[in-house]
């Protein structure tokens, strides 16, 4: 994987750590990082940026250094770390052939044969039980020490908020200030929450589009006879036929709800599908997302983290209630459970899933339309923190730091205090 243009002005390096941080024996792996130096040297400190997923890697947040966070570079270094198992840190990456064969991306989120092949491939160079959130937090602190910072600010997005919480719990004196954008609590069992959170986002969108619920129901009715033939169009090619199941459709809608620009188009796409059966916009978004994941997303890390830290805690008796009255139903939950049944699962203590209770200044950010980490999740996290604020962007979906909350995030990361923080969003 190439670093890409976002890293053009960064200094790149790596530290070497034991894959098994407990025994400190056996295989070692590199943990890669990139640093953008502050304009004024010596820097007043640093801010570390943690990617989502789990599995996205540092490349997904590198643009922040020259984007919303660029004003911090006047006095602070900005640092991106590839979490163990991503990008240049022994990536647990298994590509799928969805570019050449788009139809293979449909029918399953995680095809069992592909999951088994991925495991066999990755076990040649990794013990898949050792790619945990806690080990990643310890890696982060080794990078901090290597670069010479006494304490750092931390920005985490999506799953990166859970890694940030693990870091601040383990090293409260080394986390100067923390921003949790699209916050994921430890006591939420991913993906058990996915169906209700996605339904909540769709219901919220329906408040401003009164016909959406009825038209959406008519689209779902079209799947009663089974998968529907539709088309995707790869760049520079003719349309390719694919079969879209109801599960594929639901998962496509969930992905569309991630992005505010697609939110605006969803009611129109749904109305057309209800009237004519045209599912091409949904199939295209579904395929484009699958293609992006196949190219850069470390799905092996995704499984290693979530299968052990979340899916293993889901009880059979919880699933039907979690999926009831949702357009996704059990589909995503069952896809994860079936994949995790084929993946090595590391033991995780119940202590790991307890809320974080520290005094680190923390800003939590939520989007009102978030289909994955709704504002209620951030409220749960804030309840156990002693120095926290929660801002909700009324127009954002999954990730809101670039909008009305930007000035607040910059203030906290620059000053290390919530005092005097501007509030451009609706506060909680």
The full set of domain ranges for the chain reads 5-92+131-187+354-427, 194-340
User: 67-77 burial by CB neighbour count: b if 16+ within 10 A, else e?
Assistant: ebbeebbeebb
Whole-number pLDDT of residue 408: 97
pLDDT at position 262 is 85
Stated pTM of the model: 0.96
- Please report the pLDDT score of residue 23 as a whole number: 97
CATH class of the structural domain 5-92+131-187+354-427? alpha beta
Please state, in angstroms and rounded to a whole number, the distance separating the CA atoms of residues 127 and 123.
6
C-alpha distance from residue 186 to each of 11, 39, 163, 197, 376 (Å): 33, 37, 10, 16, 13
CA–CA dist 266, 243 (Å, integer): 20
- Other beta carbons within 10 Å of 278: 15
How far is 306 from 325, CA to CA, in rounded Å?
25
- In tens digits, what is the pLDDT along the chain, a chain of 428 residues? 445 666 778 899 999 999 999 999 999 999 999 999 999 999 999 999 999 999 999 989 999 988 999 999 999 999 999 999 999 999 999 988 898 899 999 999 999 999 999 999 999 999 999 999 999 999 999 999 999 999 999 999 999 999 999 999 999 999 999 999 999 999 999 999 999 999 999 999 999 999 999 999 999 999 999 999 999 999 989 999 999 999 999 999 999 999 888 888 999 999 999 999 999 999 999 999 999 999 889 999 999 999 999 999 999 999 999 999 999 999 999 999 999 999 999 999 888 999 999 999 999 999 999 999 999 999 999 999 999 999 999 999 999 999 999 999 999 999 999 999 998 885 44
How far, in Å, CA of 142 to CA of 136, rounded? 10
Please state, in angstroms and rounded to a whole number, the distance separating the CA atoms of residues 155 and 157: 7
Give the side-chain half-sphere CA count within 13 A for 113. 4
Burial 167-189 (b: 16+ CB within 10 A, else e): bbbbbeebbbbbbbbbbbbbebb
CA dist., res. 38 & res. 33, Å (int)? 16
Report the pLDDT value the prediction gives residue 350, as an integer from 0 to 100: 85
């Amino acid at each position: 994987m190439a670093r890409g243009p976002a890293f053009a002005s960064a200094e790149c390096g790596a530290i070497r750590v034991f894959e098994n941080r407990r025994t400190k024996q056996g295989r070692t792996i590199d943990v890669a990082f990139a640093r953008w130096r502050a304009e004024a040297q010596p820097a007043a400190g640093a801010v570390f940026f943690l990617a989502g997923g789990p599995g996205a890697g540092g490349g997904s947040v590198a643009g922040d250094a020259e984007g919303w966070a660029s004003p911090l570079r006047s006095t602070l270094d900005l640092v991106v770390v590839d979490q163990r198992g991503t990008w240049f840190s022994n990536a647990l990456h298994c590509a799928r052939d969805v570019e050449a064969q788009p139809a293979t991306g449909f029918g399953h989120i995680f095809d069992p044969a592909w999951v088994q092949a991925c495991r066999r491939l990755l076990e040649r160079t990794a013990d898949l039980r050792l790619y945990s959130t806690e080990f990643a937090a310890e890696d982060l602190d080794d990078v901090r020490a290597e670069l010479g910072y006494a304490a750092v600010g931390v920005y985490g997005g999506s799953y990166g908020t859970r890694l940030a919480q693990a870091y601040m719990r383990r090293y409260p004196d080394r986390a100067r200030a923390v921003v949790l954008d699209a916050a994921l609590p430890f006591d939420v069992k991913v993906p058990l929450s996915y169906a209700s959170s996605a339904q909540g986002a769709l219901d919220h969108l329906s408040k401003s589009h009164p016909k959406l619920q009825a038209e959406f129901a008519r689209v779902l009715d079209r799947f009663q006879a089974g998968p529907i033939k539709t088309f995707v169009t790869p760049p520079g090619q003719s349309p390719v036929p694919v079969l879209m199941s109801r599960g594929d459709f639901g998962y496509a809608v969930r992905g569309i709800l991630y992005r505010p620009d697609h939110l605006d188009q969803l009611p129109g796409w749904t109305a057309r599908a209800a009237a004519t059966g045209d599912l091409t916009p949904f199939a295209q978004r579904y395929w484009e997302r699958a293609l992006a994941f196949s190219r850069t997303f470390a799905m092996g890390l995704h499984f290693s983290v979530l299968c052990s830290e979340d899916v293993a805690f889901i009880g059979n008796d919880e699933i039907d209630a979690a999926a009831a009255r949702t357009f996704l139903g059990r589909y995503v939950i069952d896809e994860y459970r079936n994949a995790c049944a084929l993946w090595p699962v590391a033991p995780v203590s119940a202590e790991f899933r307890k809320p974080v209770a520290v005094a680190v200044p923390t800003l939590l950010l939520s989007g009102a339309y978030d289909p994955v980490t709704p504002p209620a999740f951030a409220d749960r996290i804030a309840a156990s923190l002693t120095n926290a604020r929660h801002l909700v962007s009324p127009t954002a979906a999954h990730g809101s730091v670039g909008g009305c909350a930007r000035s607040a995030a910059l203030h906290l990361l620059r000053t290390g205090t919530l005092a005097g923080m501007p509030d451009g969003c609706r506060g909680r």
